[in-house]
């Protein structure tokens, strides 16, 4: 175990994403640069009587082509879509990290990938086959496909991670919680490397119906902080990071992309649906305290920004509570405006957005912000990216049920 007084610094050495605006980090970043929308009419899913028929759906994702080089785990090709997305994102992140695979010191490598819904597609398909099509059996891989930890298991098998390996479920905060767990394992000396993030794919009749019943879904689009906003747009995707201790990365000569400086975790403990200003404010404060930073040090904040009426109002007020006067000078944007709400993958994807913003020196926009809600009165980087040198960034993930996780990212150690 590491000496608590000498906790190792934790750095990012790899990142990978799959989203509706780009299926690699380069394409995703280009999509953010262009202010591209990946929200479109849903294809290939029987929608029956659904009123809402748009989503952030990933088109033309060929899992067989993307994962054809996998050697140790051929069963990935027979898994659920959320596992394919996680595997593709993890593959990209691990390749960028230049770690040798199968991993050396495998028991010192953790793999934690979050998911809010797990194998939603498989579960719904199996139920339809049995109860509607009257089939007498389901696919032999049905159970492994459904389980929420399946994506993590696939990645650990392919790359040989033998340390702590499991899934995390905390709705829209799942990926951020997974990233925080990996960081803490490294800080406490349990592992040297952690493959962490999140993945979700629940654009199904049942998934859409459940969100529609809760009156979460917008029939027109995702417009965070805008006067016209009226709900989320369900999306799918994956975002994965490779974390390492600074020493481990230095000893192998790895390029360090950034430092994971701060983590703030809270629970609203009040309501399953309605957000709580005090708890989300406290999560941001704790992340700043953990990073040993003053609020004015944050140059850009990637907001949870779901585009529901109450969530955006409360997040705006929480940011003001924490950042005071600096809130008016800080760029804040919701990249969900472009790719929708990928649930448990959100924190991983948005951490990548922060990392790339720091690298490139510009803030991604909030698109569709033609008329701001007067009560949402911060600088949301409307419609077009903005050049700015960024030293420290923050990413907010606030999940259904009041589960909050905030990350602070900064420059790699000198």
For every residue of 354-411, DSSP letters joined together read HHHHHHHTEEPPBTT-SSB-TT--S---BSS-EE---SEEEEEEEETTTEEEEEEEEP
Are 115 and 342 contacting, i.e. CB atoms less than 8 angstroms apart?
no
pLDDT at 414: 86
The CA distance from 263 to 408, in Å, is: 6
Per-position pLDDT tens, the chain of length 414? 444 457 899 999 999 999 999 999 999 999 999 999 999 999 999 999 999 999 999 999 999 999 999 999 999 999 999 999 999 999 999 999 999 999 999 999 999 999 999 999 999 999 999 999 999 999 999 999 999 999 999 999 999 999 999 999 999 999 999 999 999 999 999 999 999 999 999 999 999 999 999 999 999 999 999 999 999 999 999 999 999 999 999 999 999 999 999 999 999 999 888 888 999 999 999 999 999 999 999 999 999 999 999 999 999 999 999 999 999 999 999 999 999 999 999 999 999 999 999 999 999 999 999 999 999 999 999 999 999 999 999 999 999 999 999 999 999 998
CA distances from 398 to 136, 249, 272, 329, 407 (A): 41, 31, 12, 23, 11
* Non-local CB neighbours of 132 within 8 Å, separated by 6+ positions: none
Task: Supply the pLDDT for residue 271.
Answer: 86
- Residue 101 to residues 96, 106, 150, 156, 258, Cα–Cα distance (Å): 12, 9, 20, 11, 22
Measured CA to CA, the distance from residue 116 to residue 118 in angstroms comes to 6
**The two three-digit tokens of residue 1, written as one number:** 């175990």
Distance of CA 93 to the CA centre of its chain: 14
Q: What is the pLDDT of residue 5?
A: 56
pLDDT at residue number 273: 85
* pLDDT at position 1: 40
CATH number at 4-251: 3.40.47.10
Query: DSSP alpha helices (H): ranges in 115-253?
Result: 120-131, 142-146, 150-159, 174-187, 205-213, 246-251
Same fold: 4-251 with 263-410: yes
Predicted pLDDT at 63: 97
Domain 263-410 has CATH 3.40.47.10: yes
User: Hey, where are the domains in the chain?
Assistant: 4-251, 263-410
pTM over 0.85: yes
């Amino acid at each position: 175990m590491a000496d608590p007084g000498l906790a190792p610094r934790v750095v990012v050495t790899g990142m990978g994403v799959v989203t509706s605006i780009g299926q690699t980090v380069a394409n995703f970043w280009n999509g953010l640069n262009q202010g591209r929308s990946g929200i479109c009419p849903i294809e290939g899913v029987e929608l029956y009587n659904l009123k809402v028929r748009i989503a952030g759906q990933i088109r033309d994702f060929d899992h067989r082509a993307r994962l054809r080089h996998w050697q140790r785990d051929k069963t990935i090709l027979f898994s659920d879509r959320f596992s394919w997305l996680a595997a593709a994102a993890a593959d990209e992140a691990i390749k960028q990290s230049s770690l040798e695979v199968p991993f050396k010191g495998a028991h010192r490598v953790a793999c934690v990938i979050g998911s809010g819904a797990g194998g939603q597609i498989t579960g719904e398909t199996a139920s339809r086959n049995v109860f509607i099509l009257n089939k007498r059996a389901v696919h032999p891989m049905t159970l492994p496909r459904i389980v929420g930890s399946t994506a993590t298991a696939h990645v650990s098998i392919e790359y040989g991670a033998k340390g702590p390996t499991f899934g995390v479920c905390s709705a829209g905060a799942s990926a951020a919680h997974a990233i925080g767990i990996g960081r803490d394992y490294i800080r406490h000396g349990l592992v040297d490397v952690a493959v962490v993030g999140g993945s979700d794919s629940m654009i199904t009749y049942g998934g859409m119906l459940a969100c529609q019943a809760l009156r979460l879904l917008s029939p027109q689009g995702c417009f965070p902080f805008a006067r016209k906003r009226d709900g989320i747009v369900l999306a799918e995707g994956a975002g994965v990071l490779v974390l390492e201790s600074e020493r481990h990365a230095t000893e192998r000569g790895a390029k360090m992309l950034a430092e994971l400086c701060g983590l703030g975790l809270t629970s609203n403990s009040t309501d399953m649906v309605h957000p709580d200003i005090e708890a989300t404010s406290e999560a941001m404060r704790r992340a700043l305290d953990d990073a040993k930073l003053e609020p004015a040090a944050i140059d850009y904040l990637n907001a949870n920004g779901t585009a529901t009426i109450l969530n955006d109002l409360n997040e705006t007020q929480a940011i003001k509570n924490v950042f005071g006067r600096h809130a008016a000078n800080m760029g804040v944007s919701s990249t969900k405006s472009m790719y929708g709400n990928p649930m448990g993958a959100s924190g991983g994807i948005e951490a990548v957005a922060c990392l790339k913003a720091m690298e490139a020196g510009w803030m991604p926009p909030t698109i569709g912000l033609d008329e701001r809600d007067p009560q949402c009165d911060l600088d949301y980087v409307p419609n077009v990216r903005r050049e700015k040198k960024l030293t420290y960034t923050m990413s907010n993930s606030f999940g259904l049920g009041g589960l909050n996780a905030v990350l602070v990212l900064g420059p790699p150690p000198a």
